[in-house]
Amino acid sequence: MSKIPPFDLSEQYKIIGDEVNAAVLAVLSSGRYIGGAAVEGFEQQFADYISTSECIACNSGTDALYLALRSLNIGAGDEVITTPFTFIATAEMISAVGATPVFVDIEAQTFNLDLDLVEAAMTERTRAILPVHLFGQPVDMTRLMAIAQRHNLAIIEDCAQAVGAEWAAQKVGSIGHIGCFSFYPTKNLGACGDGGAVTTNDPAIAARMRMLRDHGRRAGGYYHEAIGVNSRLDALQAAILQVKLRYLDTWNQQRRAIADRYQHLLQHVPNIAPPQEPVGGKGVWNQYTLRVLGHTHSAEQTKSSYRDAVRQQLQADGVSSMVYYPLPLHLQPIYTDQAQPPKLHPIAERAAGEVLSLPMFPELSPEEQDRVVYSLKDCLV
């Protein structure tokens, strides 16, 4: 029996390969490889898609976070509130600009920042809140924006896993002050390499991010007004992303249909808790992540959980699954070598020991999905 991968990008290429090839060849023959019509066209189309006035393409989702933080002059002495249950880049870039990430625990149902805990984590140094729409499920942005307004804080949305997701019928990345996107190949809108973008409705912030992504200069001259970086999106990637953006809504609907089917097939299965879509939000299912329950563990024991045994057995059945993320950020070596013991975040720690992401990509067939569910049920008894 063939193996079922966690995602399969070659299937997508079989469908849109001709269009991608034509777009790539057009860039190659244009002779314009940095900037130019392909990049500007993509920026315009992506801004229209997210419904912001501005989009600045850059080299990765990581750089998008860096540019967002720098554009707000967040740096040494500042604190940014964020989640410990995310990919490292979220907190890493807060540290990279010289600020301190202040972790706040997550909600058990959505794996997203627990908004009940955010205000208690604020100090006079807090400058911004950096929520992550994890696995493609949106944070309650109505409530978060109200909190931010009350305390005069900026909101930088990490939308890396949530392109096209909505809160109260508005796209994520258009609600906070800045939205940060990744076009890493396995994201819902993936390039054939690295890529990223920031979105905003604030022209001054946009101008500053454009300047910072290009060595701290404006419009390509040799006058530098800030220490910037080289973080441009390649014209080749921009051309590929223009093609793929036209399919994004279809792919997101296919992911939704697959998620609905998983929900239906897994509803009465013991020892698991399927994911829940937040009321008021529309997710885009970058991952279908459930919890494997039934066994206790602590922060130290997350390495050998019941979940890991289930995962190994699935693997032996030819079904790939993934663990995002096995160690919360507040327990990572880079955030634990201070003098004091780390502040604990029990919901995130528990999630790290229980989460399991099942195969999820638009081309996953019902037959493959049936096999995943059949194997999982078999492993859980």
Q: Enumerate binding residues for ligand PLP (CB under 6 A).
A: 60-62, 86-87, 89-90, 132, 158, 160-161, 182, 184, 194, 196
Give me the residue label for tokens 């944070």.
139
Closest C-alpha among 159, 154, 175, 190 to residue 89: 159
Query: What's the min distance (Å) between Cβ of 65 and ligand PLP?
Result: 6
Query: What's the min distance (Å) between Cβ of 209 and ligand PLP?
Result: 16
DSSP-derived letter for residue 294 is S
Measured CA to CA in angstroms, residue 270 lies from 55, 267, 273, 380 at distances of 45, 9, 8, 8
Q: Nearer Cβ to ligand PLP, position 89 or 198?
A: 89
Closest C-alpha among 127, 68, 89, 131 to residue 278: 131
Beta strands 170-171 and 178-182 are: unpaired
- List CB contacts of 124: < 8 A, sequence separation 6 or more: none
Q: Nearer Cβ to ligand PLP, position 170 or 186?
A: 186
Q: At what angle do helices 61-71 and 89-96 cross, to 10 degrees?
A: 40
Phi-psi region of 271 (alpha: psi -120 to 50; beta: other; left: phi over 0): left
Per the DSSP assignment, residues forming a β-bridge with 128 are 80, 154
Q: Nearer Cβ to ligand PLP, position 188 or 375?
A: 188
Query: What's the min distance (Å) between Cβ of 32 and ligand PLP?
Result: 24
Which residue has the closest beta carbon to ligand PLP? 61
Contact call for residues 189 and 248 (beta carbons, < 8 A): yes
Q: Nearer Cβ to ligand PLP, position 136 or 359?
A: 136
Query: What's the min distance (Å) between Cβ of 46 and ligand PLP?
Result: 15
Q: Nearer Cβ to ligand PLP, position 91 or 356?
A: 91
Query: What's the min distance (Å) between Cβ of 101 and ligand PLP?
Result: 13
Q: Nearer Cβ to ligand PLP, position 89 or 356?
A: 89
Q: Nearer Cβ to ligand PLP, position 61 or 228?
A: 61
- List CB contacts of 15: < 8 A, sequence separation 6 or more: 363
End-to-end CA distance of the chain: 22
Query: What's the min distance (Å) between Cβ of 335 and ligand PLP?
Result: 16
Query: What's the min distance (Å) between Cβ of 64 and ligand PLP?
Result: 7
